[in-house]
Amino acid sequence: MLKLWEFEKLCRTEYDNGQGDVRALWLQEESLKELQADITKYALAGGGKSLPLHVDDIPKLKEEGAYPMYAVNPVTRKGECHLHICQGDEIADVFFPDGKFEAHVLSRSS
């Protein structure tokens, strides 16, 4: 399962290793729900310095059954990292300033 702090660590590591920007996560259902719950909890609590969502989207989380489908990269603060459900390996799509893209495996499906 992927927690918010692990997402933040992933974003920091990718940036430090070549200015990579995590733009999409493909997560199994349990991991996706865990990350969405962490993002929601943190955003509704005020989020400290770097909110994981755009400020305008936070009130929507108060609606029953509402979950975020993206997170703002806490390192680059550019665009959105879209959250997707997958059935296989969990993957992070990482984009680089030179236009290259890499898919990094976070965990293998069993």
Query: Could you report the per-residue pLDDT of 53-108, keeping only the tens digit for each?
Result: 877 888 888 877 778 899 988 888 877 899 999 999 999 999 999 999 999 999 88
Please report, rounded to a whole number, the percentage of residues in the chain having pLDDT higher than 70: 95
pLDDT of residue 55: 78
pLDDT of residue 63: 78
- Structure pTM? 0.86
Whether residue 107 contacts residue 19, with contact meaning beta carbons closer than 8 Å, is answered with no
Instruction: Enumerate long-range contacts of 52-57, CB under 8 Å, 24 or more apart.
Output: 52/4
d(CA 1, CA 6): 9
pLDDT of residue 16: 94
Task: Read off the pLDDT of each residue in 14-32 and give the average, rounded to a whole number.
Answer: 93
d(CA 59, CA 108): 35
Identify the domain containing residue 10 by its residue range.
4-107
Number of domains in the chain: 1
- Taking CA atoms, 108 is separated from 9, 39, 90, 91, 99, in Å, by 19, 23, 6, 9, 27
